[in-house]
Amino acid sequence: MDTETGNTGQQGAPIEAACRALENSPRTPRAFALAELIDAFMAGYAGPDRGITGRLAYWRDALGDRPAAEISPDDVADALAELALGRGRTYLGKDEKTGERRFKPRKHAARAPATANRYLASLGTVYRWARRRRLLPRGFVSPTRGVERAPVSNSRVRYLDQAERERLLAACRVAKWSRLYLLVLAAIVTGARKSELLGLRWRDLDLERRTASIATSKNSEPRVMPLVGPVIAEIERIRSRRPEDFVFASDARPGRAMRIEAAFRRACAEARIQDFRFHDLRHTCASYLAQNGASLLEIAETLGHRQLAMVKRYAHLSIESKARLVERVFRDIQ
């Protein structure tokens, strides 16, 4: 699972040292401040979620000085409300005379419901990790469990038509970053999330079986994605000899995955494609499958969804495809 569902991506000595410092503390688990838990969690974070740093920084500012075990669901809900309204506070420490907590107002863009839910999930990840490390009292229940997620509309289905797809792939082929073409092509044919693709290492690919393995997906389960011929050919062209390297490594920092946002925006602009996000490549995969007769169950399995409700947005495309099939086969029946 990723940071949204509980996988911490923790590894190596830094996190162990940070944890031991807390575990060996003479204080009881109930006394640890949220900021201490966040700092220990992040000390060795090696997951693919680049946004978790900023999200946890918000929680550190908002509630970091409070004992983590004493933070209530109401505290979390209030902080989320401030976030959703585009308001926030930077913690300045306690007043030396009064002992009161001091904050500086901070304005930022209002957050969409889906973004607020990611903030909530990131905080929940820290609490789950702290429980596993026994840094919280026995039987402790995370305050995030008492906060309802904001309702999110998933009605958007933006996908590439054939002409758009051809223009985008052509622009990606000549992009400055040489692996953008492979990344976009893989996103279209696998329906994988951006974080899943950017987290791939060469050891995760099995070219003989023509598969790519995701050890832990967003839904907390391993997933194996089939790879088609054009993707295999492009992989063979740029294949690395070091299994631990990222498939989509940064040119400047080979030990890290590439930050692809700017390169993808440029490719979309050059291809004259508007109102299109990288996540819409996932919609493109699902839409193509639906239009070619795939069932909702098959689409859900391809995209790694555990519930059919997540793919119902593609139902009309599937029905239209089946209607064309029935018309073609039975149009002359009497």
Sheet holding 211-214: strands in order across? Answer: 205-206, 211-214, 223-226
pLDDT (tens digit, 9 = 90+) per residue, 234-272?
Answer: 999 887 778 888 999 888 887 888 989 999 999 999 999
Percent of the chain with pLDDT over 70: 74
How far, in Å, CA of 33 to CA of 35, rounded? Answer: 5
pLDDT per residue over 134-176, tens digit each?
Answer: 889 888 999 999 898 877 655 567 889 999 999 999 999 999 9
Which stretches within 174-249 are classed as H helix?
180-190, 194-198, 229-238
CB distance 228 to 189 below 8 Å? yes
The region of weakest confidence among 69-73, 98-102, 171-175, 185-189 is: 98-102
Per-residue model confidence (pLDDT) at position 308: 64
Q: Tell me how far apart the alpha carbons of residues 49 and 67 are, in angstroms, rounded to a whole number.
A: 26
Give the residue, 278 or 17, on which the prediction is more confident. 278
Residues 6 or more apart whose CB falls under 8 angstroms from that of 250 comprise 256, 257, 258, 259
Which residue would you say has higher pLDDT here, 94 or 215?
215
Provide long-range contacts, Cβ within 8 A and 24+ apart, for 196-200.
196/48, 196/223, 197/247, 197/248, 198/48, 198/246, 198/248, 198/257, 198/258, 198/260, 199/47, 199/48, 199/246, 199/257, 200/246, 200/247, 200/248
Task: Report how far apart, in Å, the C-alpha atoms of 288 and of each of 72, 301, 306 are.
Answer: 45, 15, 20
Residue 318 confidence class, pLDDT cut points 50, 70, 90: low
3-state SS record for 268-293: HHHCCCCCCCCCHHHHHHHHHHHHCC
Strand partners, 103: 91
pLDDT at 153: 57
Phi–psi pair at 214, nearest 5 degrees:
-105, 115
SS3 321: helix
Paired sense of beta strands 101-107 and 87-94, if any: antiparallel
pLDDT of 68 > 60? The answer is yes
Contact 312, 296 (CB under 8 A): yes
Write the CB contacts of 295 (distance below 8 Å, at least 6 apart in sequence).
318
Question: Would you state the pLDDT for residue 290?
Answer: 84
- Identify which has the larger pLDDT, 179 or 292: 179
| pLDDT mean across residues, the chain | 80
Q: What is the pLDDT of residue 54?
A: 87
Structural domains in the chain, CATH included, are: 13-146 (1.10.150), 162-330 (1.10.443.10)
**pLDDT value, residue 172:** 96
